[in-house]
Amino acid sequence: MTKRHLGLLLCTVPGLYLLLSPIYALLNYQLFAAETPHFVRYVLIPGLLGAAVIATGLLAKPRFSALVGVCASSVLLGLFLFEAMHTVSVVSVRLEMLGQLSKAQADTLMRNKNMVPGFTLRSLNRLSGTDELPEALLSGFPSTQVVLCTSKGGVVSYRADRYGFNNPDDVYNRRLDLMLLGDSFVEGFCLPPGEDLASSVRAGGATTASIGIRGNGPLVELAMLGRFGKVLRPRHVMIVFVEGNDWENLERELAVPWLREALSPDANYGLQSTAQETMREARSIVAERKNTPVTSIDLLTRTSLLRNFVALQQTLARLGLVYPKIAGNKPEFRKILHRAKELANSWGGTFTLVYVPRMDRFIGPLASDQPFDPLRRRVLDAAAAEAIPVIDLHEVMRAQADPILLYAPDAHFSRAGAKFAANEILRSIAAKGTGLPITAQKK
């Protein structure tokens, strides 16, 4: 092989890799290139670098092109080695999130007929063949032990209350001060009993029910409010909007015809009694899946681990260069807020939106709020248009010395994060002048 060919080969490999980013971004223009920060990050910079490296291999003197090729290939190899090291470190976290069990833990789960692995309402309704809102499963399984995740310390789980949520059952013995609607952040993913968001709010003096299940999005949460709100009649209702995935969850939910019915002013949200057949079917499905172990193959089929490795996700995240998908306009979100406020007001309650920022905002020396803020503005503008108060956790988290400590390695709230968010919620309730005996906890 001549020096010319060697230089061209060494330049072509890293050059083509760099060009993968603009090609993918342009093929998915609305998600990764339609806004200036994304265009610069995913198209302009890698495109120019890739073209420059390949042009060097083609046009520069053989010795210089070989030198550039060796340097570029070495840097790329080093980045992949760094990525591999960090990917290995997150494999155990991902398996724990999927619910992988040791043999002893699996035996315990099998013996305990009243314990179920984690689930999402979207998947259970789909597998159960739900096609009517009143018959939909909009809660967990009452009085059941639910696995949140696994950890080196064992299985993290909670006993569901009479409605199927992560609360002590006696929370319903008097009128609720607060109903918290949301996804895994509200359910308390991987946090021990008593350390989750709702428990932290209860510790501050507000009788609070967590009405949250992992995988929920804003439309499912509206349906849950419609079903349980008039039964529980809380003084305050708060929907927790998570910047990381709620916009994408909403897009999936809007594609479900029976779920879109929740937006109607005269929607029939149903009762627990109207969903009993679906609950029995869903419980049967969960029982079958209970016998299926989580393996390494699930990492490839149920997560984006392989794709993220190719994209150097872990490496770029540590630099602050992982940007979210561009949030397209969804006018239905404002309708959800409008309808939720109407429901809360119908029994004399208040309605508030809680905005939880994505952990990636706070990682890396090059991290910037700019790529994340368009979604935040959409959400806050929709709330403002409906005169709905917002607890914007981004602002108060950004003011902390080290906001990353408020998140766990799985990107959910850490114990400190749950307490921090609870304090902001308690302050909001106290500011409404309800006269409740609420005491904010120490951060």
SS3 of residue 431 by DSSP: helix
Spacing of C-alpha 224 from chain mean position: 18
| Domain membership flag for residue 285 | no
Q: Which domain holds residue 345?
A: 158-273+327-431
pLDDT tens-digit readout, 196-247: 999 999 999 999 999 999 999 999 999 999 999 999 999 999 999 999 999 9
Q: How many Å apart are CA 194 and CA 158, to the nearest integer?
A: 10
Residues 88 and 163 in one domain: no
pLDDT of res. 105: 57
**Residue 261, strand partner residues:** none
End position of a domain, from candidates 48, 69, 98: 98
The answer to whether residues 216 and 139 touch, using CB atoms and an 8 Å cutoff, is: no
pLDDT of res. 3: 74
Residues 374 and 262 in one domain: yes
Count of structural domains within the chain:
2
Spacing of C-alpha 293 from chain mean position: 24
| Tokens at 355, concatenated | 């905005």
Residues 178 and 94 in one domain: no
The side-by-side arrangement of strands in the sheet containing 145-151 is: 115-116, 145-151, 154-159
Q: Which residues of the chain have pLDDT under 70?
A: 1, 92-112, 152-153, 290-296, 298-300, 433-443
Q: If we measure between CA atoms, which residue out of 432, 270, 234 comes closest to residue 345? A: 234
The answer to whether residues 300 and 308 touch, using CB atoms and an 8 Å cutoff, is: no
SS3 of residue 224 by DSSP: helix
pLDDT of res. 311: 94
Q: How many Å apart are CA 51 and CA 73, to the nearest integer?
A: 15
Count of other CB atoms within 10 angstroms of residue 287: 12
Q: Which amino acid is at 177?
A: D
| Domain membership flag for residue 117 | no
pLDDT of res. 442: 45
| Domain membership flag for residue 358 | yes
**Residue 391, strand partner residues:** 354
Where b means 16+ CB within 10 Å and e means fewer, 73-89 reads beebeeebeebeeebee
| Domain membership flag for residue 409 | yes
| Domain membership flag for residue 291 | no
Spacing of C-alpha 79 from chain mean position: 27
pLDDT of res. 416: 97
pLDDT of res. 110: 65
Rounded to 5°, the CA angle 326-253-166 comes to 105
Residues 181 and 59 in one domain: no
pLDDT of res. 104: 57
| Domain membership flag for residue 302 | no
**Can you give the CATH number for the domain in which 370 is found?**
3.40.50.1110
Residues 55 and 176 in one domain: no
End position of a domain, from candidates 68, 98, 128: 98
Q: If we measure between CA atoms, which residue out of 206, 205, 152 comes closest to residue 179? A: 206
Residues 211 and 358 in one domain: yes
| Domain membership flag for residue 295 | no
| Tokens at 197, concatenated | 């968001």
Q: How many Å apart are CA 170 and CA 209, to the nearest integer?
A: 10
Residues 260 and 333 in one domain: yes
Where b means 16+ CB within 10 Å and e means fewer, 266-279 reads ebebbebebbeebb
Q: How many Å apart are CA 20 and CA 9, to the nearest integer?
A: 17
The answer to whether residues 177 and 238 touch, using CB atoms and an 8 Å cutoff, is: no
pLDDT of res. 102: 56
Residues 258 and 366 in one domain: yes
Q: Which amino acid is at 296?
A: S
Residues 17 and 87 in one domain: yes
Rounded to 5°, the CA angle 19-22-26 comes to 140
pLDDT tens-digit readout, 405-442: 999 988 999 999 999 999 999 999 998 765 555 555 44
| Domain membership flag for residue 184 | yes
Q: How many Å apart are CA 55 and CA 8, to the nearest integer?
A: 9
pLDDT of res. 305: 81
Residues 230 and 351 in one domain: yes
Q: How many Å apart are CA 216 and CA 181, to the nearest integer?
A: 9
**Residue 208, strand partner residues:** 178
| Tokens at 439, concatenated | 């005491």
| Helix locations, 313-372, DSSP H | 313-319, 331-346
